[in-house]
Each structure stands twice: as C-alpha cells, then as structure tokens.
Amino acid sequence: MSFPWAQHYQPKAPLMRWLDEKLPLPRLAYNAIGAGYPVPRNLSYMWNFGVLAGFCLVMQIVTGVILAMHYAPNAAIAFDSTEHIMRDVNWGWLMRYSHANGASAFFVVIYLHIFRGFFYSSYKAPREMVWLLGVVIFLLMMATAFMGYVLPWGQMSFWGAKVITGLFGAIPVVGEPLQIWLLGGYAPDNAALNRFFSLHFLLPFVIAGVIILHIWALHIPGSSNPTGVEVKSESDTLPFHPYYTAKDGFGLGVFLIVYFAFVFFMPNSLAHPDNYIPANPLSTPALIVPEWYFWPFYAILRAFTADFFFIEAKLMGVLAMFASILVWFFLPWLDRSPVRSGHYRPLFRKFFWFGLIPSVLVLGYCGGSHPEEPYLMLSQVATAYYFLHFLVILPLVSAFERPEPLPFSITEAVLGSDKKAVLGDNAAAAS
Amino acid sequence: MLAESTTELDISAIEAGQAVKAMFRKQPLFVRNLTDKEIAEADAVDISELRDPQTLAERTKEGKANWLITMGVCTHLGCVPLGAGEGENRGPFGGYFCPCHGSAYDTAARIRKGPAPRNLEVPAYEFTSDTTILVG
C-alpha cells in the first residue's frame, strides 16, 4: 500500500516497458525505495539504521561466502585454516577482519535501531507486526553470531560453545540428552563444528527472508516518524528517492568511516585474545565471556546465584536470559499509551533515559567482567530494574502519564503551521 | 564421539596426593590418589550440610577409598576445574577449584561453595586389576 499521492512508475524506454510487462522488478523497487514511496518529511538520523542494518547483512554475506571458500570446518584444521586465511589467502585478512568487525557493526546498528523503536514506540499499532518480525530477526542474528564465533575453533570458540549449549543442559529432565544431541557428542567436537558451520551459512539467508517480511509489513502503514503523529496529507511526506536515499547515503558514509577505522587500525580491539589459542578441551580460559554484544544478556544469566523458590539457580538464569528478549514480543500490549513519541511523554522519557538505558549499560559492563562482587550485585539490581521496566513501569506509566500536547500534523511540527491540512481547499481563500 | 564408550587407564604411577587428567569421551577425567589426611577430611564432613549429600564411600569403590575418579567438568557451566595438575590451586576445601565462576569442591570432589549445583560426576568405572581401571 502507499498514499494516494504517491508517484506512479511510468517506464519510458521500450526495454523497460517490455520488462515491466514480463517481470515488474523495477516497479517494485520504485514503489519500495524509489520516488513511489512517500515517507514522512521529518525523519531524523535515527531512521538511518534500518538501511545500515541491511547494508551490514549484505556485507556479512559477501565476506562470509568468500571466507567459506577458504575455511575448513574440521576440528583438526579449522584453527589453522583461519590462520591460513589471515596469512596466505590474498586479501584474506581483509575479508576476515571485515567479517568479524562486521558482526560488531551489525549489532551496534541493530541496537540503535531497537532503542529507536523503544523511544519512539515504533512497536505500537499499526506497526506491531513490523516489531514482532524485528524481534525474530534479532533472535536469528544472535544464533548466527554465536555459531560464527565458534568457527575459528580457538579457546573462546570452544568454551563459548560448551557454555552456551550448557544452557540447554539446565532444562529439567530432557536437558542433558538435549545438550548431547545439539553437540553431537559429550563435548564440542567435529560434529558440533560441522553443524554450526552449516547453520551459520544458512541462517543469514533466513534472516534476509524475514527482513523482506519486515519491510513488507512496514510499507503497509508506512514509516513512523519522530513526532509519532501519522501522515495526514501530501505535505507531510517526501518521496523516498532522492530525499532519503541521500540522507541514508550520508549516514552510510559516516558509518563506513567508523567501521573501516576499526577494520584497518584496531581490528582486534573488540575480540578476545584467548581466541588466538587453539581450542583445548583440557584447559579452561580464566574468564569465559562472549563477544561484547551479548554481555547484557550474559550478565542476566549470571545474576542468578541462589535458587529461586524451587527453581535451580542455573535454570533460573537461563530462563531470565531468554525472557529478557521474549518480553519484547509483548511490548505492543504492555505499553498502552496512545502517544507514540517519547518527545511528548515526560514520564516515559525519564524512565527511558534514567532507567532503561543505564540498566542495560550496567548489565553490559557486568557481563564482560569477572563474576564476582560488586558486579554480581550490580547485575542483580540492573536485571530487576530491566524486568520491572517492561512488566510494571511501562504499563503503569501509560496509565497515569499526562502526555504533552501533540502537533496537529507532521508539517505543523516542522513548519509551525499547516493551513492546508487544517483548511483543506479553503487554504488559498483564507490566506 | 558417542561411540568412544570406554577408556582404559593405568594408574600405577600416581602417588598418594597426586592427580592426573585423562580423557574420557573427549572430556577431562580426574584420577586422584587421596592421602589418608584427605580421606579423613572428607569423612569428617557432616553430609546433611552438603548441597548434594554423598559420602566419600558412596563416591569410590569398596576397599579403594583413596581412588577418587571423577569427571573434570564443573557441574555449573562445564569448565575444567583446577587441582588435578601439579601446583594448581585446589581451592579452600583442598579438592578442586573452578576458576570460571568460583565453585569450590572438597577432597571427595563434592560441591561446597559457589554456583555449581552438584558434585563432580563419578563416571561408571571398574578396577580390572589393582593398577588399571576401565571407565565407561
């Protein structure tokens, strides 16, 4: 769907007319990311991150496919083949560093995208499905990133695989057989490495599929915007091309500068040195931590140090970690406020900036630290706040908050008045 | 691999107080020759105070109470505890100590402190002679 004033695709060249009758792909692109897709005129740079995430996925697939041409998914030579890529393969170091830092870049972008959604309540009707599909994409990304980290078969790869599959071992009764089945053995080995490689290759294409659904679902109501007020008239929108292709292009340029600063000048700054030691089942690294993008969730996992009612501490940690993401699925129904944008919600805004953001940052810091005091106590407090925020504070705030007055329309928010939308065709007469 | 079901070990060279790390099903296996003092320490514990109550006798073979044979896999998240290698930190209870999340095991490899829920697992094994064991 699109707004009635959207420009229509009219192929002029005979070849394009011929193609439009046979397979209207240019028409699809024109209506999705071209001049045929009207977008709110007031999108800020926070709306760049969807396009950037898409770029990251493409980059990860391209570099990943090239890496797979040289990598050997066999426990005996996986580590050596990774070093072979680094030392012998032409431009192999660039492919591997781009891919490894690309994962970090992807998560930076996706976290900004998600927190944009939190602040502007992008999950609210009519965009619930966009949000739900987004959470699915995030879960798939987490699985993909975890399995990719196992492939170099260093110490962190091995012990990460052991600890993460050990999470499933916490499930009562079926846990242990399930863990053995997932790994194809009692401990991570060739069987586990092979299936992780296979799935790591498959899942990005599943993600690409869900992204198509995500964008499809988005294009039915159209993009949200920083005011949270829906589009009312043509003056509220601009065609996607050239206005937002240009704005996204600028954002992409900034993104690439930062990203390649990492790839070229500090490619290992986000990695863990222990992963340059070949996997050794007989020796555990002193500190097992996942990559930075999993730290908040890892902190929640470790925050449960004592049995909780009748549930074992270990199982409780696992449940809480999964629940911390699954709770996002319920957001559209937990936050009942009719106002979307945090700019017009004084109370919500305070809890967002002084509650949710600090609690996630504290969890992230604790997740990368040794599991000892004060980090355990800090992660317990932050975990408690995190769940309170979504399950108690958001519903209460939406019930009791008095939102600030909304602008009449997007145009009014931008220009200070919107006579045409208020007066309709009488606008000319009135002025 | 799952097919690797049994492992035979010669334990004749392990002196009292020593321990070795072996491999069983691709996982570390701790074989430890306890000293009399360590056995006495393990027996002196009131088992009703334990998280996973078991006596040393229940965790060893009859007449072979000095041979403590356990998996070297922490029951918390699967790290390899310290204490089997020469000079490694055996933790506050003199048995094994897991550096990942601070679980401490006593001289019967029972969990005494830290997040691990259970004692180190004792695999199925038998003495095929006085100096060899068959694990699995």
Q: What is the CATH number of the domain that holds A274?
A: 1.20.810.10
CATH number of the domain bearing residue B44: 2.102.10.10
A176 as an active site residue: the answer is: no
Residue of A nearest to B114 (CA): A305
- Chain A residues with CB-CB distance to B26 below 8 A: 185-187, 189, 281
Residue A224 is assigned to a structural domain of this protein: yes
pLDDT at A172: 83
Residue A16 binned pLDDT confidence (cut-offs 50, 70, 90): very high
Over residues A243-268, the mean pLDDT reads: 96
Q: What is the reported pLDDT for A167?
A: 81
For residue A281, give how far its alpha carbon lies from the nearest alpha carbon of chain B (Å).
Answer: 7
In a domain, B83, yes or no: yes
**Cβ B26–A288 below 8 Å, yes or no?**
no
In a domain, A314, yes or no: no
pLDDT digit string, tens, across residues B65-119: 889 999 999 888 788 898 888 888 888 888 999 877 778 899 999 998 887 888 9
- Chain A partners within 8 Å of B101 (Cβ): 302, 371
Q: A194 in contact with B at a CB cutoff of 8 Å? A: no
User: What does the pLDDT look like over B13-47, one tens digit per residue?
Assistant: 888 888 888 888 888 999 999 998 888 888 888 88
d(CA B56, CA A379) in angstroms, rounded, equals 37
Q: Please list every residue in chain A whose beta carbon sits closer than 8 Å to the beta carbon of residue B80.
A: 281-284
Most confident of A63-67, A314-318, A403-407: A63-67
* Residue of A167, A186, A193, A301 for testing the chain B interface, max B β-carbons within 10 Å: A186
Q: Which two tokens stand for residue B135?
A: 């694990």
Residue B31 maps to a domain: yes
A302 reaches B (C-beta below 8 A): yes
Q: Which domain holds residue A105?
A: 41-288
- The pLDDT value recorded for residue A278 is 95
Chain B CB within 8 Å of residue A210 CB: no
The rounded distance, in Å, linking the Cα atoms of A47 and A218 is 13
Distance to chain B for A80, nearest Cα, Å: 20
The minimum CA-CA distance between B10 and chain A, rounded to whole Å, is: 19
Q: Is residue A154 part of a domain?
A: yes
Provide, as residue numbers in chain A, all residues whose Cβ is less than 8 Å from the Cβ of B2: 180, 184-186
On whether residue B126 sits in a domain, the answer given is yes
Total of domains in chain B: 1
Cβ-based neighbours of A161, under 8 Å, separated by 6 or more: A150, A183, A188, A192, A196
Specify the range with the lowest mean pLDDT, choosing from A42-51, A88-97, B11-20: B11-20
pLDDT at A419 over 70: no
Mean pLDDT for A232-249 is 93
In a domain? residue A197: yes
User: A321 at the B interface (CB within 8 A)?
Assistant: no
ipTM of the complex: 0.74
The nearest alpha carbon in chain B to A162 belongs to: B78
Share of chain A above pLDDT 70, in %: 96
Q: What is the pLDDT of residue B51?
A: 86
Specify the range with the lowest mean pLDDT, choosing from A101-105, A318-322, A423-427. A423-427
Q: Do B78 and A283 count as a contact with CB atoms less than 8 A apart?
A: no
Which tens digits make up the pLDDT trace of A295-310? 999 999 888 877 666 7
Greater confidence (A2 vs A118) lies with A118
Q: SS3 of B57, please? A: helix
Q: For position B1, what pLDDT does the model report?
A: 42
pLDDT at B127 over 80: yes
- Is 80 exceeded by the pLDDT of residue A431? no
Report yes or no on A135 lying in a domain. yes
**Residue B58 belongs to domain spanning:** 7-135
Question: Hey, how many other C-beta atoms are within 10 angstroms of the C-beta on A362?
Answer: 20
pLDDT digits (tens, 9 = 90+) for A157-204: 999 998 888 888 878 888 888 888 988 888 899 999 999 999 999 999
Q: Is residue A281 part of a domain?
A: yes
Whole-angstrom Cα distance, residue A229 to residue A213?
24
Asked if the structure places residue A122 within a domain, the reply is yes
Q: Give chain A's mean pLDDT.
A: 91
The answer as to whether B2 is a domain residue is no
In a domain, A422, yes or no: no
pLDDT at A399 over 70: yes
Task: Give the number of domains in chain A.
Answer: 1
Burial (Cβ within 10 Å: 0-12, 13-18, ≥19) of residue A230: middle
Residue B2 pLDDT greater than 60, yes or no:
no
On chain B, the residues whose CB falls within 8 A of the CB of A376 are none
Q: Give yes or no: A291 in active site.
A: yes
